[in-house]
């Protein structure tokens, strides 16, 4: 698995990757799929997680050009995967509008953020104009 491995307290495993090009989107989603496999997610959930990572990393490339993703394996209480994506781009002017189905400011179909929220168990987005955006999302192992 490519990426830098670091260890955080309370987290079983962390993989950190830079997101600076569209090829990094593919690396990030493959990495998320592998971590999800190790945790024990089934094929359907692994695809959901990889799709979520693809959408959020695509936002980084389209709106901030560069950022980073951390994929964490959570082993207990609850067991699952947590994904943190940060960028230092311009930030999102209106998060409520960005979270509406069909709203797109890029090359997608406008389902990236709201769709990702639907397919993950936890989704939190925070953004500040001029400082960047952070998405924290998680899926629990059922």
Residue 93 binds other proteins (CB under 8 A) = no
Smallest gap from residue 7 Cβ to other proteins (A): 29
CA 41 vs CA 53, 72, 82, 134, 140: distances in Å = 15, 14, 13, 25, 9
Task: From 11-19, 44-52, 68-76, 85-93, give the range in contact with other proteins by CB under 8 A.
Answer: 44-52
Task: From 46-54, 73-81, 89-97, 132-140, give the range in contact with other proteins by CB under 8 A.
Answer: 46-54
Nearer to other proteins, 11 or 140 (CB): 140
Residue 5 binds other proteins (CB under 8 A) = no
Give CA angle at 84 (32, 91), nearest 5°.
125
Q: What is the dihedral of CA 52, 57, 60, 62, to 10 degrees?
A: -90
């Amino acid at each position: 698995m490519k990426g830098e491995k670091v260890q955080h307290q309370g987290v079983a495993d962390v993989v950190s990757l830079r997101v600076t090009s569209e090829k990094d989107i593919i690396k990030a989603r493959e990495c998320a799929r592998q971590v999800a496999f190790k945790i024990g997610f089934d094929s359907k959930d692994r695809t959901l997680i990889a799709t979520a990572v693809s959408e959020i990393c695509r936002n980084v490339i389209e709106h901030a050009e560069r950022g980073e993703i951390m994929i964490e394996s959570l082993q207990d209480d609850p067991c699952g995967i947590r994904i943190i994506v940060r960028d230092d781009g311009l930030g999102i002017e209106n998060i409520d509008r960005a979270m509406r189905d069909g709203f797109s400011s890029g090359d997608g179909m406008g389902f990236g953020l709201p769709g990702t929220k639907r397919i993950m168990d936890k989704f939190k987005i925070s953004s500040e104009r001029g400082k960047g955006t952070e998405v924290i999302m998680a899926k629990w192992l059922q």
